[in-house]
Amino acid sequence: MKLPRIGHIRECVESLDRLFSELLNLSQLDAGVLQPQWTDFPLDRLFDEISRNFRPVAEQQGLRLVARKTELWVRCDYVMLSRILNNLVSNSLRHTIEGGVLIGARRRGKGVRIDVVDTGVGIAMQH
């Protein structure tokens, strides 16, 4: 029965390894040396990855993490978008005491809007 858990851990490690590798290139991105790697991919793939990585954290805090299923595809840099959404979800979970976090996407004209919504305290107006 432990095999599914081992598979889940392996997926999380691979995902985090990919993110850490890209973090090392952050200075190159800031300097304009690193260019986005444009690719088409289904948002559900990224949402599922985020859900696998953060669901245990949410459950440990007694929170819900919901990644809404979507059939939308985007054309962007997978790792950069992943980094942004991972950061937003991480912050949401850190500042949410009860309730949860919702990740969703919807078409807006020719683009796609991705939302990370939480029931946290929010950001003070002065900030």
Sketch the domain layout of the chain as residue ranges. Answer: 35-118
pLDDT of 51-80, one tens digit each? 999 998 899 999 999 999 999 999 999 988
CB atoms within 10 A of CB 90: 15
As a whole number of angstroms, the distance between CA 21 and CA 16 comes to 8
pLDDT the model gives residue 105: 98
3-class SS of residue 14: helix
Helix (H) or strand (E) holding 11: helix 3-23
- Position 98 scores a pLDDT of 94
pLDDT confidence of residue 13: 67
What percent of the chain is predicted at pLDDT more than 90?
52
Closest Cα partner for 81 from 112, 118, 122? 112
CATH ID of 35-118, from 3.30.565.10, 1.10.10.10, 3.40.50.620, 3.40.190.10: 3.30.565.10
| C-alpha of 56 from chain center | 14
